[in-house]
Amino acid sequence: MKSILVFSNGEKIGDGIIKLPLLNELKRRLPNHNLYWMTDHGNTVYTSTLKSISSNYIYKFYEKVNLNYFFSNKISNKYELEKEYFDIIFDTQKSVFRTLTLKRIKHKTFISGSASGIFSDIKLDKKLRDEKKYYLEYLYDLLDLILKEEVDKNFKFPIDKNVEISLKKIFSDNLNYAGIAPGAGEENKIWPLNNYIEIGKYLELKDYKIVFYLGPNEKDYEKVLKENFRNAIFLENEKLLDSFSNIEIIMASTKFLKFAISNDSGVSHMLSTNYCPLIKLFGPKDSVKFTPKLKNLITVSSSELNSDKIEDISVKRVITAIEDINL
């Protein structure tokens, strides 16, 4: 087998989920290559929280190698990287010092967008260097330098069958479900809760049962939501699911939803499995860089109103997005 080494700064949960389609593309396009994954100073969720998924793609990890940027030193004090060889090194980050150190590892082909691609063995065209893109699309463009193919936009995240079996005991085949994730890690990314309640009431009139996704910092929402939605589902309270992680539950539950609505949050990444449409609301952040081009993803941004305030998005605008799904 040939080998490809992917180098990153590490992956927290949001980054790890965003990059899962890249793992699929690497395996699909380069089936005769073992995939090695290396991080510099950071950890990766691919060795922990998302290990059950990443193990289908990644052959071996070099985690927290702590590259030495001085050429008189070993490449890493943790691993004997001078002894390694890779057919392809795929540098996903843009630090020049990291790139130059990484390039010291023996290889046949080195791909990098660092410093506008001047260290890459296959040069980037001007459009790739200059165009403003979603991060994953940028990585796809780098991958195209190795082997150009159409991206599989129908890719669906692998789901744990045991979680799915347990969820079937909670979800009925005779009902329509809509997911709502009203929280986010930053206050300026949160669409007002009263707006979500209004959306929920609208959906109940359309015979939808609501599934709420609440994070640990949103427990104060639960009482208000339960007062307004007597029959709603709160998956974090379901005893049947106690043996599974929150991530596994959220991702698997999308197979039972007609659609979901969320702010720009960690939960929204978990809902972006491509099993159901996701309406994602943006306020202050640039929706181009942080929004994957998935078949079932619909973005609603306050930038449509020349605003960076998420509260400026109207309930009517979100209802229009729901109706556009052709439910």
> Any idea what the Cα angle at residue 80 is, between residues 76 and 85, rounded to 5°?
105
Backbone angles phi, psi at 131, to 5 degrees: -70, 140
Identify the band that residue 177 occupies on the pLDDT scale cut at 50, 70 and 90.
Answer: very high
Q: How confident is the model at residue 294, as a pLDDT? A: 65
The pLDDT value given to residue 247: 86
**Edge-to-edge strands, sheet with 233-234:** 233-234, 208-212, 176-181, 259-263, 278-282, 297-301
SS3 89: strand
What is the predicted pLDDT for the residue at 179?
A: 97
Whether 131 shows a pLDDT value over 60: the answer reads no
Question: What pLDDT does 275 receive?
Answer: 86
Q: Domain spans of the chain?
A: 2-146, 161-324
Using left for φ > 0, alpha for ψ between -120 and 50, and beta otherwise, residue 207 falls in left
**CA gap 327, 313 in Å, rounded:** 22
- Higher pLDDT: 123 or 107? It is 107
On the question of pLDDT at 236 being above 60, the answer is yes
Residue 207: is its pLDDT beyond 80? yes
How many whole angstroms separate alpha carbon 116 and alpha carbon 135? 15
The whole-number pLDDT of residue 293 equals: 60
Mention every residue, 6+ apart, whose C-beta is less than 8 A from residue 9.
Answer: 39, 40, 41, 42, 93
Is pLDDT at 191 greater than 60 in this prediction?
A: yes
- Mean pLDDT (whole number) for 146-172: 88
Phi-psi region of 115 (alpha: psi -120 to 50; beta: other; left: phi over 0): left
Percent above pLDDT 90 for the chain: 63
Same fold, 2-146 and 161-324: yes
pLDDT by residue (tens digit) across 7-62? 999 998 888 988 999 999 999 999 999 999 999 999 999 999 889 889 999 999 99
State the amino acid at position 202 in one-letter form: Y
Chain mean position to CA 140: 14
The second-level CATH assignment, the architecture, of 161-324 is 3-Layer(aba) Sandwich (3.40)
Q: What is the reported pLDDT for 266?
A: 83
pLDDT value at 186 more than 90:
no
In this predicted structure, what is the pLDDT of residue 132?
61
Angle at CA 203, nearest 5°, toward 202 and 205? 70
Q: Which residues contact 129 (CB under 8 A, 6 or more apart)?
A: 113, 116, 117
Quick one: pLDDT at residue 290? 58
Q: Which of 23-37, 152-166, 170-184 has the lowest mean pLDDT?
A: 152-166
C-alpha 127/C-alpha 125 separation (Å) is 6
Domain 2-146 has CATH 3.60.15.10: no
